[in-house]
Chain A
Amino acid sequence: NAGVTQTPKFQVLKTGQSMTLQCAQDMNHEYMSWYRQDPGMGLRLIHYSVGAGITDQGEVPNGYNVSRSTTEDFPLRLLSAAPSQTSVYFCASSYAGIGELFFGEGSRLTVL
């Protein structure tokens, strides 16, 4: 039982490049979400999903896209990276969104 797995752990991009952060969970959780963590700002919700085929925006969705084709996977896409997207990104899942959030190990992204 791996829990929530994120890849890559570290990534450096140039402004304008695109990339996808991968997130997978093996707990059969319906609810999955992406957060970004910046110093002094806590964890801010980017996008979330309550089940396969359903996604919705969080507090800071601009510049990010998501999709949820399966229960297990919830990738986060940056179409044209900007320095303001330099951050640590966490994927998290929970059972039906009503209890504990299980976080991945995080992905540290630097945009130059």
Chain B
Amino acid sequence: GENVEQHPSTLSVQEGDSAVIKCTYSDSASNYFPWYKQELGKRPQLIIDIRSNVGEKKDQRIAVTLNKTAKHFSLHITETQPEDSAVYFCAEKPLGGNQFYFGTGTSLTVIP
């Protein structure tokens, strides 16, 4: 099956610093790359996504970049706040496919 590798598995940053989470994928046909945030005991929720025809997308303090040649995409969170503490999952979906493949998650802790 498809494989999505996500790094790091845990990340601690000081409040106000930036956080970067990276994912690599293997299927060159992948064309949709969402990021989900899961707070403790809650359901995963979409925070940002990008499609393969775009290299970068921003939404306030959150941005995602995509490098199709290298087959990796990254989540960038700037000016981190304690409420950003959560587990973040990357995912990818091949064009024409019906399965979403998730990374193993990154536990982000923002230290006040």
Residues of A within 8 A of B (CB): 31, 33, 35, 40-45, 48, 50, 56, 58-59, 90, 97-101, 103-106
Most chain-B Cβ atoms within 10 A of its Cβ — which of A42, A44, A97? Answer: A42
Chain B positions near chain A (C-beta within 8 angstroms): 1, 6, 9, 32, 34, 36, 42-46, 49, 89, 91, 93, 98-105
Is there contact, CB below 8 Å, between A42 and B98? no
A58 CB, nearest partner CB in chain B, Å? 6
- A31-B98, A58-B99 in contact; A42/B43 too (CB < 8 A)? no
Q: When the two chains form the complex, which single residue of A42, A97, A104 contacts B102, counting CB atoms closer than 8 Å?
A: A42
A50 contact set on B, CB distance < 8 A: 98
Asked whether A43 lies within 8 Å of B43 as measured between CB atoms, the reply is no
Contact partners of B34 in chain A: CB under 8 A = 100-101
> How far is A16 from B44 in the complex, measured between Cα atoms in Å?
30
- The answer to whether A104 touches B9 (Cβ under 8 A) is no
A43–B90 Cα distance when bound, in Å, is 10
Alpha-carbon gap, A105 to B45, bound state (A): 10
**CB atoms of B89 and A43 under 8 A apart:** yes
Q: Which residues of B contact A31 (CB under 8 A)?
A: 98
Residues on the B chain within 8 Å of A100, using CB: 34, 46, 49
Task: Give chain B nearest CB distance to A54 CB in angstroms.
Answer: 10
Select which of A41, A58, A99 is within 8 A of B104 by beta carbon.
A41
Please state if A98 and B89 are interface contacts (CB–CB under 8 Å): no
Residue with the highest number of chain A CB atoms closer than 10 Å, among B1, B36, B93, B100? B100
8 extra A-B contacts, CB within 8 A, seeds A35-B102, A99-B49: A40-B104, A48-B99, A58-B99, A101-B34, A101-B36, A101-B44, A103-B44, A105-B43
Nearest CB in chain B to that of A100: its residue: B46
Q: Are A44 and B45 in contact (CB under 8 A)?
A: no
B1 touches A59 (CB 8 A): yes
Known: A98-B32, A100-B46, A104-B43. A40 touches B9 (CB 8 A): yes
Q: Which 4 pairs show the lowest CB-CB distances between chains A and B? A: A103-B43, A42-B104, A43-B102, A42-B102
